[in-house]
Amino acid sequence: MRIRSLAAIVAAVVITAPSVGQTARAGQADTLVQGVTAYPGLVAHTQPDGRVFEARQFGDESYHWMETADGYTIQLNTKTGFFEYLRVDDKGHYERTGLIVGRDDPTAAGIAKHARESKSVIEQKRAQIDQMLRQGAGALPTREYYPNSGAIPILVILANFNDTTTSTELDDFRELFNAGEASVRDFYNEVSYGAVSLDKPPLPGGPGLLTVRCGRRWYPRTNRACSSGHG
């Protein structure tokens, strides 16, 4: 299979793909759909002093928190730019300790691992965020949204830079979108807990790739003009 050689491809763009974080229709805020849970893997973060640590995020858009690789709950101090270790105060809320992740020793300071706010605090924060999301959805102009369950059709456009070539075949894209545990269809089925099933997209025949106007090196720099045929 040639899927791993996709570095030369600009994109396999899914247009009008379902969004699992929107209401089914503006004005129907009572049917707010929850977003997917946070990426479970470790992510590297760099402190302002150059120290690097790994952490993972938990939760969803209504309530979330972070832990270091060894299980200490942390939070970004937006005033200093440093991630700090957290503890729980006597009212069940998180509070920053002033101890810097990667520099200070949380064990010596008696900070417990896997610190969690109280159930009542979590419920209160979730309710506040959910209310904000519902109010935002109600303020949107009336328009149709994708349903959040059932078989959903999608449109796929395959695109390539004007200064790159690829040997990837359409069958590889069909497999990427439609077949196996690593496919796009499988992803939406998993994050919707089985509620969404994408219809197999009708990929184009013939050459199958739309050549975009600019070169590969232009697209991260959209503040400058694109000269056709040049990066």
Q: pLDDT digits over 54-66, tens only?
A: 999 988 878 889 9
Domain contains 11: yes
The dihedral region occupied by 82, where left means phi > 0, alpha psi between -120 and 50, and beta the remainder, is beta
For 95, the token pair is 């509070």
155 and 207 housed in the same domain: yes
Q: pLDDT digits over 162-219, tens only?
A: 888 887 777 888 788 887 777 888 888 887 778 888 877 666 655 567 888 888 777 7
Domain contains 34: no
Give CA separation, 201 vs 10, 71, 126, 158, 185, in Å.
Answer: 19, 42, 36, 12, 10
Q: pLDDT digits over 24-47, tens only?
A: 333 343 444 555 667 778 999 999
190 and 122 housed in the same domain: no
132 and 88 housed in the same domain: yes
Domain span at residue 129?
43-138
Number of compact structural domains in the chain? 2
Q: Contact at 8 Å (CB) between 64 and 38?
A: yes
Q: What percent of the chain has pLDDT over 90?
A: 32
Tell me the C-alpha distance between 43 and 23, whole Å. Answer: 30
Instruction: Characterize the bridge pairing of strands 196-198 and 150-152.
Output: parallel
168 and 87 housed in the same domain: no
How many other CB atoms sit within 10 Å of the CB of residue 54? 13
119 and 190 housed in the same domain: no
152 and 130 housed in the same domain: no
158 or 26, greater pLDDT: 158
124 and 205 housed in the same domain: no
